[in-house]
Amino acid sequence: MQGTTQKSKDSAKAAETPMPQASKNSDSMVIPVHSVPIEAVDKLTPSWQRQLSDVIEDPAELLHILGLSTDLLPAALAGSSDFQMRVPRAFVQRMQPNNLHDPLLRQVLPLDDEQTRPPAGYSLDPLGEAAANPKPGIVHKYRRRVLLITNGHCAVNCRYCFRRHFPYEDNHLSLQAWNENLDYIRQDTTLNEVILSGGDPLASSDKRLFKLINSIRDIPHIQRIRIHTRLPIVIPDRITDDLLAGLTEQAHRPLNIIVVVHANHAQEIDDAVGDALLKMNQAGMTVLNQSVLLAGINDCAQTLCDLSERLFQYRTLPYYLHLLDPVIGAQHFDVPEKTAKALIEECLLALPGFLVPKLVREIASEGSKTPI
Ligand code: SF4
C-alpha cells in the first residue's frame, strides 16, 4: 500500500512467519541452533501463513502467469509504485488466463487509468478518517462502535481501496499503545461494539488475534466484535479449526462474533471459499458480505444477483453494496448513483429482499452510512 513501506511490509511478514534461529559458535561460523531442515520448518508453518508470505507483488510475474502482454507492464509498475500491487496466488488461480477484463484481475492489477486526473471531490482520505483518528490505531466515527486498526497490511491490495493512502506506518502499535487503546474502549462505556479492521485483522497470527479478542471480551460493556476481513475470500485456508476454536472459545465471556467478508463477484467464491464461509457459519458466527460497486467488474444486475445467490449457497448474507469512495487513483471504477439505483431496482425484481444488499454511500461528516 502507499504508506506501507517495503521495510514495514517485510517486518510484518517476518512477524508472521517462524524462522529457523541461528547463532555463532566459537569460530564465528554461523550455524543453525537446531538442525531442522528448512522444509520441516515450512511444514510447521500453517499453509495460510506461507501463502501470505508468498503473495505476488511483481506485476511482471502476474502478467506472465496469466499470459498477458508485457505492454501493460509500464502502467502496472507506475501504479504499483504508488500503491503496491499485492495478490495471493489462490486468488490468481480463479482468474481466467489471457483475459485482461477478468473481474478478479481488474481488482488487483494497476492500469494506466489510475494515473488519469481525478474529478473534483476525490481526495487521499475520502472518509475523513484522519479527523476521526483520536489515537494511533483507533478510528472512532460512529456512536457506540469503535474501529481498531488491527494491523497495517492486507493479503490483497484492492485498487479501489479507500485506505490506499492511509498512514498505516503511523498506526503501527507498540504494546503500550495497544494497551492504551484498550483503555480507551474500557473508559467509554457508551461503546458496545468493537470492529477489527485494518489492514486485515485475520492477517495477524492466531496468538496475537486471540490476545486482543480476549482482552476485549473482558470489557463488560462490549457485546460484540465485528471482524472486517477479505482473507476468507482470497486465502480461504486462513479459516483453520484453530482459528474457529479461538474465536468461539467459551472460557472467557462469550461475545457475538460477526465476520464481514468482502467479495465483489461470484467468481471469487470457489468451493474452498464456500467451505470457509460455511465453517464460520457452523461455528456460530454471523457471516455477512460487503461489496463495492465497480465499473467494469460488477456493474450489471445479473452479476450482482449471481453474487448474492452464490453467497447464500454458503449461508452468507449480502450486507452492503458501497458506492465507490472517491479516493485518488480509483476514479475509473466509479458508477454513477443513478445507474446504481437502477441496478438495485433490477435486483429487487429478481431476488428475495434478503438477498439484495443495501446500497450505501459513506460521507465523511455523516454519523452513519447514507442509504441511496
Ligand atoms: S482488503 Fe479491504 S482494506 Fe485491504 S486493500 Fe482490499 S479493500 Fe482495502
Of 81-90, 141-150, 309-318, the poorest mean pLDDT is in: 141-150
pLDDT given at position 37: 56
User: How sure is the predictor about 18, in pLDDT bands with cuts at 50, 70 and 90?
Assistant: very low
Residue nearest to atom 4 of ligand 1 (CA): 154
Whether residue 343 is predicted with pLDDT greater than 80 in this model: the reply is yes
Which cell numbers hold the place of 210? 486471540
Backbone angles phi, psi at 146, to 5 degrees: -135, 145
Residue pair 230/261 in contact by the 8 Å Cβ criterion: yes
Pocket test for ligand 1, best of 9, 154, 233, 261 (most atoms within 8 A of CB): 154
| CA end-to-end span of the chain | 30
pLDDT given at position 202: 96
Higher pLDDT, 356 or 14: 356
Q: For residue 123, what is the DSSP state? A: B
User: How sure is the predictor about 13, in pLDDT bands with cuts at 50, 70 and 90?
Assistant: very low
Q: Ligand 1 mean position to 304 CA, how many Å?
A: 20
Strands 145-149 and 138-139: antiparallel
pLDDT given at position 25: 34
- Burial class, 241, CB count within 10 angstroms (exposed 0-12 / middle 13-18 / buried 19+): exposed
Q: Ligand 1 mean position to 156 CA, how many Å?
A: 7
User: Considering only CA atoms, which of 32, 36, 33, 56 is closest in space to residue 45?
Assistant: 36
User: How sure is the predictor about 22, in pLDDT bands with cuts at 50, 70 and 90?
Assistant: very low
Which cell numbers hold the place of 55? 503473495
pLDDT given at position 276: 98
Please state, in angstroms and as integers, the Cα–Cα distance from residue 323 to each residue in 36, 131, 133, 161, 240, following that order: 51, 22, 23, 12, 32
Q: Structure pTM? A: 0.86
Q: What does the pLDDT look like over 272-313, one tens digit per residue?
A: 999 999 999 999 999 999 999 999 999 999 999 999 999 999
* 3-state secondary structure labels for all residues of 55-97: CECCHHHHHHHHCCCHHHHHHHHHHHHHCCCCECHHHHCCCCC
pLDDT given at position 185: 95
pLDDT given at position 2: 34
Whether residue 146 is predicted with pLDDT greater than 60 in this model: the reply is yes
Residue nearest to atom 3 of ligand 1 (CA): 199
The span from the CA of 332 to the CA of 71, in Å, is: 20
Residue pair 53/13 in contact by the 8 Å Cβ criterion: yes
Higher pLDDT, 223 or 116: 223
Whether residue 3 is predicted with pLDDT greater than 50 in this model: the reply is no
Q: Tell me the percentage of the chain whose pLDDT exceeds 70.
A: 83
User: How sure is the predictor about 179, in pLDDT bands with cuts at 50, 70 and 90?
Assistant: confident
Which residues lie closer than 8 Å to 10 by C-beta, 6 or more apart?
Answer: none
User: How sure is the predictor about 131, in pLDDT bands with cuts at 50, 70 and 90?
Assistant: low
Residue pair 16/49 in contact by the 8 Å Cβ criterion: yes
Q: Ligand 1 mean position to 20 CA, how many Å?
A: 31
Q: Ligand 1 mean position to 23 CA, how many Å?
A: 39
Residue nearest to atom 8 of ligand 1 (CA): 161
Domains belonging to the chain, first-starting first, are 6-15+35-115 (no CATH), 138-371 (3.20.20.70)
Residue nearest to atom 7 of ligand 1 (CA): 161
- What mean pLDDT is predicted for residues 154-164? 91
Residue pair 136/67 in contact by the 8 Å Cβ criterion: no
Residue nearest to atom 1 of ligand 1 (CA): 230
pLDDT given at position 85: 96
Pocket of ligand 1 (CB under 6 A): 154, 156-158, 161, 163, 198, 200, 230, 262
Q: What is the CA radius of gyration of the chain?
A: 21
- What mean pLDDT is predicted for residues 216-221? 94
The span from the CA of 97 to the CA of 210, in Å, is: 39
What is the number of the ligand 1 atom nearest to the C-alpha of 1? 5
The span from the CA of 344 to the CA of 111, in Å, is: 28
pLDDT given at position 172: 65
Whether residue 28 is predicted with pLDDT greater than 60 in this model: the reply is no
pLDDT given at position 124: 84
The span from the CA of 33 to the CA of 223, in Å, is: 46
pLDDT given at position 241: 96
Higher pLDDT, 22 or 261: 261
Q: Ligand 1 mean position to 157 CA, how many Å?
A: 6
Pocket test for ligand 1, best of 107, 108, 153, 157 (most atoms within 8 A of CB): 157
Residue pair 348/357 in contact by the 8 Å Cβ criterion: no
Please state, in angstroms and as integers, the Cα–Cα distance from residue 85 to each residue in 81, 115, 209, following that order: 8, 15, 26
Whether residue 362 is predicted with pLDDT greater than 50 in this model: the reply is yes
Whether residue 60 is predicted with pLDDT greater than 90 in this model: the reply is yes
Higher pLDDT, 171 or 81: 81
Q: Ligand 1 mean position to 229 CA, how many Å?
A: 8
Q: 3-state DSSP helix/strand/coil percent for the chain, to nearest 5? A: 40, 15, 45
- The strand pairing partners of 195, in sequence order, are 147, 226
- What is the rounded average pLDDT for all residues in the chain? 86
